[in-house]
Amino acid sequence: MMNVEHGWPEPIRRMAEAWPLPHVTRADLSQFTCNTFCGRSAANADCAGVGIKGRFRIGKIVAYPLEAVCDFLTTKYRDPEAEKTARAKEKASA
């Protein structure tokens, strides 16, 4: 378990705290993210040059530092409720 002191959204922070290792393998990304992001998507993002930072290999296994995975997921994260509230405030002030 990791002591997390980052500005990550709550769901990502909880995933990081529950993960027992300091890295996440590409094969374990689906398990880490509760099937919301898979290793194949990570491979495609890496190929396009917009993937998770800090990638390293051990033999044929590709892995990423836990913090880098969480930072990457934070860039993809959106909260529909917060967006709905922001739109309502925008309409009210217009």
Better pLDDT: 6 or 77: 77
Q: Of residues 64 and 91, which shows the higher confidence score?
A: 64
Distance from C-alpha of 23 to C-alpha of 27, rounded to nearest angstrom? 12
Establish if 82 belongs to a structural domain.
yes
- The reply to whether 3 falls in a domain is no
pTM for this structure?
0.79
CA angle, residues 67, 85, 70, in degrees to nearest 5 = 5
Residue at 1 is within a domain: no
pLDDT of residue 76: 87
Q: Which domain holds residue 58?
A: 10-93
Question: Is 35 part of a structural domain of the chain?
Answer: yes
Quote the number of domains for the chain: 1
Q: Is the pLDDT of residue 58 over 60?
A: yes
Residue 87 domain-assigned (yes or no): yes
Answer yes or no: is pLDDT of 32 > 90.
Answer: yes
- Comparing 87 with 65, the larger pLDDT belongs to 65
Q: Is 51 among the domain residues? A: yes
Q: Is residue 2 part of a domain?
A: no
Residue 33 falls inside a structural domain: yes
